[in-house]
Amino acid sequence: MPDGNPKKPSRIQTRNRSVILDAALEVFSRHGYRGATLDQIATEAGLSKPNILYYFEGKEDIHVTLLSKLMETWLDPLVALQSDGDPAEEILGYVQRKLDMARDLPRESRLFAGEILQGAPRMGPHLETDLRPLFDEKCALIQGWVDTGRLPPLDPQHLIFSIWSATQHYADFDAQVKVLLGQGSDPHKRASAHLRSMFGNMLRI
């Protein structure tokens, strides 16, 4: 049994757990938790169903593991929002990082979106524990910039919401975006320019 005990995992274990999680990310992000089946995940992973249940306790275990690992990655860009340089450029850099992330990790974005959309049934605690403190910290940072006149008056909480929604939109609503944009010139570049303009305007004193 690979789980529970403190022994270090074998090479096979490490590889297979990672293969399974990647397959599960693919399937869960496309069909949602309920819509995904263990058979689909098994096929995608190139393993048999009982075999994946050898590495994970069950469907929910896979999903939760995925969400936990994802949370780190997901918060990275926000963690990187520091009080180093020019406030406006700091925030615009954050916007850019989030947008790049939506392009590079669309499956992760959709997995997250699906979970929240359904009321975060398997992630509620994580939100309180991991996201909330970081969110509060960065809101305070931005509020500080406002208070010291380095940014115009604005609402840090809703600013962050706008950044999240505007950037993740391109991953989460990809199906719609594709239909509406047709095949135009480098959508990512145009989105980036638009967002830089929009948020840039609002951050200018």
159 counts as binding a copy of itself under rule CB under 8 A: yes
Q: Measuring CA to CA, how many Å separate 157 from each of 22, 55, 85, 169, 171?
A: 33, 40, 21, 18, 22
What tokens appear for 168 in the block?
């993740």
Q: Which of 8, 11, 189, 204 binds DNA (CB under 7 A)?
A: 11
Of 35-43, 140-148, 154-162, 196-204: span binding DNA (CB under 7 A): 35-43
CB nearer to DNA: pick between 52 and 78: 52
143 counts as binding a copy of itself under rule CB under 8 A: no
17 counts as binding a copy of itself under rule CB under 8 A: no
Q: Which of 25, 29, 59, 108 binds DNA (CB under 7 A)?
A: 59
CB nearer to DNA: pick between 8 and 189: 8
54 counts as binding DNA under rule CB under 7 A: yes
Of 37-45, 114-122, 130-138, 158-166: span binding DNA (CB under 7 A): 37-45
CB nearer to a copy of itself: pick between 90 and 172: 172
d(CA 150, CA 145): 5
Shortest CA distance to 201 belongs to which of 49, 51, 91?
91
CB nearer to DNA: pick between 27 and 166: 27
Shortest CA distance to 79 belongs to which of 67, 97, 64?
97
Secondary structure of residue 134 in the 3-state scheme:
helix
What tokens appear for 102 in the block?
């939506």
Contact flags string 60-79 toward DNA, x per CB under 7 A:
x-------------------
Q: Measuring CA to CA, how many Å separate 41 from each of 11, 27, 28, 121, 170?
A: 21, 6, 8, 21, 25
48 counts as binding DNA under rule CB under 7 A: yes
